[in-house]
Amino acid sequence: MRTRDEELSFQVKNIFNEFYKEKLDNTTCFAVTATELEEMLSIEINEKDRGIISHDIGDFRWRFMKNKFNKYGLIFILCKGVS
């Protein structure tokens, strides 16, 4: 059984894999909107949740951000040299 943090990281990686080809076009970051996230997460999240995903094209920092409607979006930022 996974811990909460392990499960969250697993789900975020799946979300990243779902969207990065479509959204990462000549840029170093992209966001997944609250609407796009609906039903993709089965775990409760908060703004303190963040992490790093290692990918073939580099390491991505991710974090949740709350919008003005108190719904969470997810942002990914490509970081060179993150270990």
Domain residue spans of the chain: 4-79
Q: How far apart are CA 37 and CA 8, in angstroms?
A: 13
Q: What whole-number distance in Å separates Cα of residue 14 and Cα of residue 53?
A: 11
pLDDT at 81: 53
Supply the pLDDT for residue 25: 81
Chunk the chain into consecutive blocks of 10 residues (it has 83) and report each block's average pLDDT, rounded to whole numbers: 92 94 87 92 91 91 93 92 49
pTM for this prediction: 0.87
- Confidence (pLDDT) at 57: 84
